[in-house]
Amino acid sequence: MKPEINFEDFLKVDLRVGTIIEVNDFPKAKKPAYQLKIDFGALGIRKSSAQITDLYTKEALLNRQVSAILNFKPRQIANFMSECLVLGIYNSNGDVVLLQASKPVKNGVQIN
């Protein structure tokens, strides 16, 4: 278990919902991954690298809403700058399952 934090610490994390509008292979990544472009509405389009190739095809990801953290510093991954962190959990096989809203919501909406 991780150290306890207070509610104010949690509020610093900018959790939002966006829609994947572009998916590309990422051959230069160390582990199999996709390069994603995600539309966060008024907050703009952000890029992310995601190691989700085992459970998701490019076609299945296109137009899918995902949850992401927007206020991490951008991170260089090989030749790609990741601008947000797509959220997922590991299943019993070690594959990443995406976290998402159970119903469609407006792009950019904050997760509380």
What is the per-residue pLDDT across 32-46, written as a single tens digit (0 to 9) for each? 999 999 999 999 999
**pLDDT of the residue at 112:** 87
What's the whole-number average pLDDT of the chain? 96
Structure tokens at 67: 């949850």
The full set of domains in the chain, from first to last, is 8-98 (2.40.50.140)
Beta partners for residue 43, in sequence order:
none
Quick: pLDDT tens for 102-111. Answer: 999 999 999 9
pTM above 0.85, yes or no: yes
Quick: pLDDT tens for 39-78. Answer: 999 999 999 999 999 999 999 999 999 999 999 999 999 9
Q: Which amino acid is at 51?
A: Q
Structure tokens at 111: 């997760």
